[in-house]
Structure 1
Amino acid sequence: MSTITRRIQKNLIHQAWPIFIASLAGVSFGVLDTMMLGNFNAQSLQVISLAASIYITVTVSLMGVIHALIPMFSQLFGANQKTEIGILWGQGIWLAFIISLIVGLALLFPDIWLSISGNIAENVKEEIKTYLRITFFAMPATLMFRAVYALCTSTSRPKLIMYINVASIFIKAFFNWVLIFGHLGLPALGSVGAGLSTLIVSWFTLLFGLWLIFSDTYYHQFSLKLGLPQWKYCKDILKLGIPMGGSYFVEISAFTFMALLAAREGVHVSGAQQIQMNLVALLYMLPQSIGVATAALSAQAIGRQNYIQSHFISLQGLWLGLLGAILTILVIYFGKPYIVSLYTNDPQVAIMAASLLSIVPLFHLLDYFQCDITYILRAHKVATIPFITQAVLLIGLGLGGGYYFGYGAGKGELAWLGDILTPGAAVGVSSLWIMCCAALLLCGFILSIWYYIIIQPHLKKSKIGAAALQ
């Protein structure tokens, strides 16, 4: 292994591990909700499965818009345009606040989402509505914090985000304990308590993050300023952010609609699906962290007009992602019974969850590749093609095909494959996961070809220029 390779891998790991810890801390909120409500009662587990799926769909989609700041900041940082970063950061804060209030209204009309789930008990519906009304007020803080996240990540200072998110875990766990189960003299609120704790921790995270970056002298070089909203900058963010947010929406909504469809097969299947989704989201944090780190360092090289280095960073990021995927697959394969026991004490939910977890190793391997190649394309400010590809395949083939074979005219036609990949699982939810695997396989293949098309002219030009200087 060459010195350059070792240095790049070291830089990637140095950048990726704090992002990974921060991401684990962030997704742990959902893990805490699922585990605590799973041990509260089966109804509350179904409520959080449906309500959190809707909340996460809207929130994560809008996060994708604000995450357009990561490649924008990174390229500016590589080009040493630091004052421009400070201006763009303030505009990102404004944009996050505005879209959280406008698009966030989707949380206040849950009946549209729940119509997909068939007949749901009225008391469950009311709990879902209450949870979403509460979390509507958490969304502005959650999105504005992503501008802080983008700044720290793209300027190679991700540890700050790690500290904030780790601190938030303890606050979330404490308020969950108090509000879900009814301690310290308060009533047991179940899923409503989980929503309230999310609201509290979201605003804590934002305020703590703002205090840290304004008190850290490192960030003074960017002259961070809020200013007034300026359409010129917001338009630039949206130009890249809308297709990025679209990609996030496609990825997360596929899982949301899977949860809504799984509810048709009963409370135990719905609970098992929530456990599966929660675990997959947890596993996704590793390839995502490596992808974010790879995109940031690659975009910095692009800002310096060094495409050869950018390409090499991208390749090393893919290799590191593959290694991480293999390690996590081994953990899931050997630890499945223990993992299920952590999530639920309901024997019927546990049996169904164990069946679904059989497909996780295959799903995770395919998900890692399409995730990392998507982030590499974003480093080049290419977001529309990934969005279109993911929309067609994940929604059309994955979700559409899963519905056809699981709940539609082709119901049961994939049962033979389900017996291999998800033995013992319900036909509908099994078909959804199988078709999502097929969609991810094609998605990764197409996006890797697109990256080759984009990078080859730059590499060829760089090599010709290097040869001319010799």
Structure 2
Amino acid sequence: MKQTYGYQQKARQFFAVLLPIFITQLSLMATGFFNTIMAGHISQQDLAGVAVGVNLFLPFFGSVLGIISGLTPTISQLYGGGRQDKIGFIVKQGFYWAMALAFLFIAVGWLAVPRVLPLLNLEPKVHYITAHYLLAVSFGIVPIFLAGVLRNFIDAHGHTRLTMCITMTSVPVNIALNYVFMYGLFGVPAFGGIGAGIGSAIAFSLNLLLNVWVVTHIEPFKSYRIFHHFPRPQFSEWKKQLGVGIPIGSTMFCEQSIFGAVGLFMTVYGTVVVAAHQAAMNFTTIVYMVPLAVSMTLTILVGYEVGAKRFADAEQYIRLSRVLTMVFVGVLALLLTQFKTEIAALYTSSREVQPILTGFLVYAVFMQVSDSINAPLQGALRGYKDVHVTFLLAVLSFWVIGLPGGWMLANWTAVGPYGYWIGLVAGVLVGAVCLQIRMGQVQRKFSGQEG
């Protein structure tokens, strides 16, 4: 990254950081998509076992990776402020506490899964596949958490194309390994759905090796000599880093877990409504990759400018992101208005599911309008390292307004299952308004401090 002048240069740097992040997020989604397809072609039990395992694993896994992502604003601010001498120490301490989080994550999982699964009343075979899928994945936790430290180290310098290349290398390998272990090829036994966990654990280790290679062979990372002379763990530094990371991880958990909770409440409406809801959520998740990529880009660029005390430049990047997301949502709304029936037909051929799904897709547009305001503001505030209020607003948006409001609309009015979507949209929109107010407070705090 470098200092930019005017919106034209900023737009070029913005897209140079954004596009690799967007491609990386889409690549990561591909693994789950192909896992589902492959498991479904083995048996219903394998599909269900992998689905339950993923739904139990991902909210907590994503939250801990969110904690590790707290390194990004810290490192980008140091880099922008020309304090590269401190970055190596930050990364090395990050290795220590990320490994501690990894072992804690594994220990909690091994203790909790045997107690949680019986509560789900799964078929014996589904129970077995879920438990062993999670056991297999657990062997890749330490490598992927350490890789997360290096990924944030690389991204914070604006070299998101490198992490894109790593992801686009490891994801196809992950899919291929899953295929080998699930179906049994080259003399390997067929493990069914459990094979997806084995393949993922190996791919996580490959991801770490690729990140290590990058930071030891490519500048500017090579100059940091990350793997030379590890200092002693410094718990005061852990406290500072986790003070940024834990609110970010907690915010991500609030966001990811709410959709699982809504999915559970939808089960009272029967299989047709659940199928339509899941399809609509899948579509929303794919479309959300754009606001999410914008959010991650702003964390890097705003952190870089704040570190250099160029606060007016940080505000220009935020304004640029608003234009981008508004254009995106406008195009999306136009497409959905014209082609919502065709989009529903892509997901299902069921004449019962299609009309309900079409209705959910209308609410998906309003969800994206809210997210297009919410997500970039979250990313920008993380760039300022203002993360505690963001977490509190996530709790307010999803668990105080979204879910209770949706439940009341669904059960006390005639809108039925659509009430949950209305509640979520309202919660996200309230959160977006509050984030905008908070952004104004943060920017006023930094005004007049140009370096």
* Normalised TM-score (structure 2): 0.88
Map 1:309-328; keep pairs closer than 5 Å.
Answer: 309-328=313-332
Equivalent residue for 2:376? 372
| Cα offsets for 1:143-166 (capped at 9, x unmatched) | 222212211111111111000111
Q: Which residue of 2 aligns with 1:242?
A: 246
Compare 344-353 and 56-65 and name the one that shifted more. 344-353
Which residue of the partner structure matches residue 431 of structure 1? Answer: 419
SS at match of 2:386: coil
The AA in structure 2 aligned to 1:324 is F
Shift of 1:336: 5.6
Deviations 1:395-435 (A, max 9, x none): 222233334554xxxx2x3443x5xxxxxxxx3xx433331
Match of 2:99 among 97, 100, 108: 97
Aligned to 1:29: 31
Shift of 1:205: 1.0
Per the alignment, residue 424 of structure 1 pairs with none
Match of 1:391 in 2: 395
Supply the distance in 2 between the matched residues of 1:333 and 1:232 (Cα, whole angstroms): 53
* Structure 1 equivalent of residue 221 of structure 2: 219
Per the alignment, residue 308 of structure 1 pairs with 312
SS in 1 for 2:221: helix
Deviation per CA, 1:68-104: give whole Å up to 9, x if none: 1111001100111112111111111221111121134
Match of 2:113 in 1: 110
Alignment of 1:89-238 (within 5 A): 89-108=91-110, 109-110=112-113, 119-184=121-186, 186=188, 188-225=190-227, 226-238=230-242
2: CA distance between counterparts of 1:278 and 1:107? 26
- How far residue 25 of structure 1 moved from its aligned partner, in angstroms, is 1.1
* Mapped partners of 2:362, 2:48: distance in 1: 22
State whether residues 73 and 385 of structure 2, in contact with CA within 8 Å, keep that contact through their aligned partners in structure 1. Answer: yes
Alignment gaps of 5+ in structure 1: 419-426
2:7 — aligned with what?
A: 5
CA distance in 2, matches of 1:82, 1:198: 34
Is the contact between residue 215 and residue 226 of structure 2 (CA under 8 Å) also seen in structure 1?
no
Distance change in 2, residues 1:43/1:352 (3 Å): farther
Q: Against the structure 1 CA distance between its residues 184 and 266, is the aligned structure 2 distance closer, same or farther, given a 3 Å change threshold?
A: farther
Shift of 1:16: 0.6
* Matched residue, 2:296: 292
Name the CA distance, whole Å, in 1 between partners of 2:360 and 2:190: 31
CA distance in 1, matches of 2:246, 2:233: 18
Shift of 1:349: 6.9
Change (3 A) 1:250 1:304: same
Corresponding residue for residue 440 of structure 1: 428
Corresponding residue number in structure 2 for 1:451:
439
Q: How far 1:320 sits from its partner (Å)?
A: 1.6
Aligned pair in 2 of structure 1 residues 319, 262: CA closer, same or farther (>3 Å)? same
* Alpha-carbon spacing, 1:457–1:218, altered in 2? closer, same or farther (3 Å): closer
The range that moved more, 341-350 or 175-184, is 341-350
1:68 and 2:56 matched:
no
Secondary structure of 1:167's match? helix
Matches of 2:303 and 2:34 in 1, distance apart? 35
